[in-house]
């Protein structure tokens, strides 16, 4: 079988998730890894039987065997890697945010169009079966007109002053932390389920923990191994953000995100209120969709390969009642992407219904608008 050859850049937490999911897919093979932390890259390659390890992203991108590049590097490396891979004629699946600002992300969209690259961005939460169900119901009219929406994305891994991450450093993360890291996921869910674009933002970015102790030796994501020396640093980026949002059709929404919410882990909640019914979904119990009604009992729809709306059953792969998890959501996204990659390679038609660099750019524009709104204290167009 002529498998699709993949090179993966960045072998931290999210890089390993990509690796495991790529293994599950049929017809795909990871042939190379790259990470500035060479030891980490080598250990990961050995564990997963990946033949090649490159010292830097550019060398991996230059490998002619590689057809698809996965960009799992930190935010400030995204632009160069994504641009380089497109210019080298690769297809690209990038982690979010797509780049440091919407100038960069806009350039990437243009570049991808120019080169005809297939692109994807890992907004994976929309790939839980019942999130797909909500979107399908909205598309077929069950929701009626969307009027309002609300929710949050809460974590607690930055609760204490002793917690630190590169995401808090503007030089690496860009002009925003939590509104970019978590807010972009949530705004993608809004646009995906409602089918409407976010067009206006009023934002408040806030730093709950203005002083932190930063390890002098560098840190990984999710802050493991903080044993060594630290220095006190001033934090200027947001660890709390609140957004008023408007959709194209005038619907209003409100969103809160925080990384210092004790006890909340990857706690995403979204509620969508239409003129006919409502949807609510929580990532804490991600297989249940609440459907709200006024004139009859509310429903709780559990992921189901038999009851899901047309076109969404493939995302609930197991017999009803076998819970899907985070890995399965990422798998669903990757499968959609690689079906398109395979079809493109074979000259067949394909449907690029996964989130791509245009989606990533839309999210960057929202984040940029949020930063501008916070500075001006006023509503800002996206």
Contact with a copy of itself (CB under 8 A) among 64, 232, 234, 263? 263
CB of 320 vs a copy of itself, minimal distance in Å: 5
Considering only the stretches 97-105, 113-121, 250-258, 364-372, report the one whose residues sit in contact with a copy of itself under the rule CB under 8 A: 250-258
CB of 262 vs a copy of itself, minimal distance in Å: 4
Q: Site for a copy of itself (CB under 8 A): how many residues? A: 86
**Ramachandran quadrant class, 238 (left: phi over 0; alpha: psi -120 to 50; beta: rest):** beta
Which of positions 153-172 make contact with a copy of itself (CB under 8 A)? 154-157, 159-160
Contact with a copy of itself (CB under 8 A) among 275, 347, 349, 351? 275
Sign of dihedral through CA atoms 266, 324, 221, 205? negative
CB of 75 vs a copy of itself, minimal distance in Å: 18
CB of 226 vs a copy of itself, minimal distance in Å: 12
Considering only the stretches 59-67, 168-176, 226-234, 260-268, report the one whose residues sit in contact with a copy of itself under the rule CB under 8 A: 260-268
**Residue 20 interacts with a copy of itself (CB under 8 A): yes or no:** yes
CA 377 to chain centroid = 27
- The DSSP call for residue 296 is S
Which of positions 306-365 make contact with a copy of itself (CB under 8 A)? 307, 318-328
CB of 155 vs a copy of itself, minimal distance in Å: 7
CB of 153 vs a copy of itself, minimal distance in Å: 11
Which H or E run includes 92?
Answer: strand 91-94
Contact with a copy of itself (CB under 8 A) among 24, 43, 87, 375? 24
Considering only the stretches 88-96, 184-192, 262-270, 358-366, report the one whose residues sit in contact with a copy of itself under the rule CB under 8 A: 262-270
Compute CA distances 292 → 125, 222, 280, 315, whole Å: 21, 36, 8, 23
Which of positions 34-53 make contact with a copy of itself (CB under 8 A)? 47-49
Sign of dihedral through CA atoms 120, 125, 127, 131? negative
Which of positions 186-225 make contact with a copy of itself (CB under 8 A)? 202, 204, 206, 208-209, 221-222
Contacts of 203 (CB under 8 A, 6+ apart): 179, 241, 242, 243, 244, 369, 370, 371, 373, 374, 380
Which H or E run includes 344?
Answer: helix 326-345
Considering only the stretches 59-67, 72-80, 84-92, 299-307, report the one whose residues sit in contact with a copy of itself under the rule CB under 8 A: 299-307
CB of 97 vs a copy of itself, minimal distance in Å: 18
Which H or E run includes 149?
Answer: strand 146-154
CB of 204 vs a copy of itself, minimal distance in Å: 5
Return the number of the residue (118 or 270) whose C-beta is nearest a copy of itself: 270
Return the number of the residue (171 or 297) whose C-beta is nearest a copy of itself: 297
Q: How far apart are the first and last CA of the chain?
A: 46
Contact with a copy of itself (CB under 8 A) among 229, 234, 262, 310? 262
Which of positions 136-155 make contact with a copy of itself (CB under 8 A)? 147-148, 150, 152, 154-155
DSSP string covering 196-251, please? --EEEEEEEEE-S--EEEEETT---GGG----S-EEEEE--S-SEEEEEEEETTS-
Return phi, psi of residue 310, to 5°. -45, 135
Residue 245 in contact with residue 252, Cβ under 8 Å?
yes
CB of 343 vs a copy of itself, minimal distance in Å: 16
Which among 50, 55, 44 has a CA at the least distance from the CA of 7? 50
3-class state of residue 87 by DSSP: helix
């Amino acid at each position: 079988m002529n498998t699709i050859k993949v090179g993966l850049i960045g072998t931290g937490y999210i890089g390993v998730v990509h690796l495991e999911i790529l293994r599950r897919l049929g017809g795909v093979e990871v042939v190379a890894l790259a990470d500035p932390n060479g030891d980490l890259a080598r250990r990961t390659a050995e564990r997963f039987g990946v033949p090649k390890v490159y010292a830097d992203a550019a060398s991996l991108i230059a490998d002619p065997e590689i057809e698809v590049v996965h960009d799992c590097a930190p935010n400030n490396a995204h632009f160069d890697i994504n641009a380089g891979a497109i210019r080298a004629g690769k297809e690209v699946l990038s982690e979010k945010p797509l780049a440091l600002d919407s100038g960069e992300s806009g350039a990437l969209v243009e570049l991808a169009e120019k080169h005809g690259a297939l692109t994807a961005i890992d907004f994976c939460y929309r790939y839980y079966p019942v999130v797909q169900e909500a979107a399908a119901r909205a598309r077929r009219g069950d929701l009626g007109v969307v009027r309002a929406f609300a929710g949050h994305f809460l974590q607690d891994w930055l609760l204490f002053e002793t917690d630190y991450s590169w995401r808090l450093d503007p030089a690496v993360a860009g002009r925003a932390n939590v509104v970019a890291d978590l807010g972009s996921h949530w705004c993608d869910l809004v646009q995906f389920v409602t089918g409407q674009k976010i067009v206006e933002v009023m934002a408040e970015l806030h730093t709950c923990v203005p002083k932190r102790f930063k390890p002098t030796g560098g840190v990984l994501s999710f802050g493991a191994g903080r044993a060594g020396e630290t220095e006190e640093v001033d934090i200027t980026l947001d660890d709390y953000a609140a957004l008023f949002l408007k959709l194209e059709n005038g619907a209003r929404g409100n969103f809160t995100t925080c990384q210092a919410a004790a006890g909340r882990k990857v706690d995403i909640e979204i509620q969508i209120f239409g003129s006919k019914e409502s949807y609510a979904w929580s990532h804490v119990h991600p297989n249940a969709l609440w459907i709200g009604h006024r004139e009859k009992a509310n429903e709780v729809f559990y992921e189901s390969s038999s009851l899901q709306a047309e076109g969404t059953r493939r995302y609930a792969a197991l017999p009803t009642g076998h819970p899907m998890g985070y890995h399965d959501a990422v798998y669903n996204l990757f499968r959609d992407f690689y079906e398109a990659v395979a079809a493109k390679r074979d000259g067949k038609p394909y449907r690029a219904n996964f989130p791509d660099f245009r989606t990533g750019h839309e999210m960057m524009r929202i984040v940029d608008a949020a930063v501008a709104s916070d500075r001006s204290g006023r509503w800002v167009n996206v």
